[in-house]
Amino acid sequence: GKLLDLSTKYGTSINDLADLYGKSSQAAAELGASESQLLQITEASAQALKITGTSAAQAQGALLGLTQALSSGVVRAEEFNQINEGGLQPLLQVVAANEKYGGSVAKLRTAVVDGKVSSQEFYAAILQGSAQLDAQASKATLTLASAFTALASQLTVYVGEASAANGVTSALAEGIGAL
């Protein structure tokens, strides 16, 4: 349902979104996060990838860094760097967009290096900045690779449903094998 909609809208892999959602849900209790807030974090990540034109495959390290930043209690420099270098920079921009950091990602980074940014603060700032990400993502163009990723996600779900309904997967495999 919702993850497939996000995959299609932002051109990210449904598998990667499901993985991010699953890992984020493990930190939900510590963050006090609801299911809708977890979906909002997942959507914010998909929006950041669309804004930067980065595929979810290219952003594996950044997505891992994000889930670790949300679940470790304190955001560490390694996680910050993974997020920054892996296509999720817009998330750092919305986290820095408050009085404490004055919109400066460099000030945010200094606070992270000093161990002064909690997972809770990071999480809350992403939620607070999600409207800003939505506005940026709506102006971003879906790359050709992202469009194919969205199509692949749709096909994955379709083939899975069709296979469950009438054994299409084995027939498809046999057809490919005959080639």
* pLDDT per residue as tens digits for the range 59-117: 888 988 998 999 889 999 999 999 999 989 999 999 999 889 999 999 999 999 999 99
- The mean pLDDT of 21-41, rounded to a whole number, is 86
- Of residues 146 and 131, the one with the higher pLDDT is 131
Q: What is the Cα–Cα distance from 126 to 58, expressed in whole angstroms?
A: 21
Closest CA to 95 of 109, 81, 85, 82: 109
Closest CA to 51 of 129, 156, 153, 157: 129
Q: What is the Cα–Cα distance from 126 to 57, expressed in whole angstroms?
A: 22
The string of pLDDT tens digits covering residues 134-172 is 888 778 655 544 444 555 555 555 555 555 555 555 666
Q: Quick one: DSSP state of residue 73?
A: S
Would you tell me how many other CB atoms lie within 10 Å of the CB of residue 34? 10
What Rg do the C-alpha atoms of the chain give, in angstroms?
Answer: 18
In angstroms, the Cα distances linking 167 to 158, 159, 164, 175, 179 are 12, 10, 6, 13, 19
Q: Are 85 and 65 in contact (CB under 8 A)?
A: no
Using pLDDT thresholds of 50, 70 and 90, give the confidence band for residue 123: very high
Query: Residue 168's Cα: distance from chain center in Å?
Result: 31
Q: What was the pLDDT predicted at 141?
A: 59
- Of residues 160 and 52, the one with the higher pLDDT is 52
Q: What was the pLDDT predicted at 7?
A: 79
- Of residues 29 and 149, the one with the higher pLDDT is 29
Q: Are 26 and 71 in contact (CB under 8 A)?
A: yes
Q: Which amino acid is at 160?
A: G
pLDDT at residue 45 above 60?
A: yes
DSSP H/E element including 88: none
